[in-house]
Structure 1
Amino acid sequence: MDDVDLAILRSLIKNSRITISQMSKEIDVPDATISNRLKKLEKDIIKRYTLIPDWQKIGLEITSIIIIQTESEKHELVKEELSRLPEVSEVYSVSGEYDILIKVWVKSIEDLNQLINSKVRSIDGVEDLTEMIVMERVKEDIPAL
């Protein structure tokens, strides 16, 4: 990965809908170079193109961070099961007192309680958890390159 590849990534992070022609002008590299580099990046570096909506405007009023302790021999199973839940947007294995951190999006506190009690706690291998409700999103972005 060189400076041109990084410039392409920065441009896409800023605006994933940018055209190759616009990117070419912005980076001052020919269209063909951008196109070829982009194909390679899509193969090796870019996992997918996505968007970040205003979650509240689409009805997902509650964001929660949940940290989970697992039985060590069932850690992998718990990660897989959590990843399958549609309300869960992120799953991380972490170090420290807890083993897994997840981020969830739900419509209401009632939905959060149902998710925790009916789905998360029922996963075989979940020992304990602590949930935190996000009070304010101060920054929600992709890190700069």
Structure 2
Amino acid sequence: MLVQDAMTRAVRTVTPETRLYEVAALMCINRIKGLPVVEDGDRIVGIIAERDVLHRMFPRLDELMAEQGPISFEEMESQYREVVNLEVRDVMSTRVITVPPDYPLLKATSVMVSHRFRRIPVAVDGRLCGMLSIGDVHKALFLKHMRLS
């Protein structure tokens, strides 16, 4: 099986200029954990994941080490409004790993597993053509090998 046999072709995307509150709404309402960031229609320039939004609220390790008193998690939580007013470009990951649609499905899965990804963009020449998730892989394998006759 190839990636193109299992990937999702209709992919929601955002741009670097998209406000994080729009991303957060998409993620919360549609249960989406990550979105490709594109420019010029389909050129992949980054990935924005749920954890990217939430990590922006957490102090870095060096900040924690320098802290002179108890940490106020309530204060950290109140930063959420500030974080969601940022643009995607402020928090997205720009190191994007993709797989091509004609890649063997289990080879793509091994790339995902080795990087601890649950989903990976499918691209040709840097242009998005789909997304592949662990769930897509499982579903494709199940349908291929467990069809009831």
Q: TM-score range by the shorter chain?
A: under 0.3
Give the TM-score taking structure 2 as reference length: 0.20
Give the TM-score taking structure 1 as reference length: 0.21
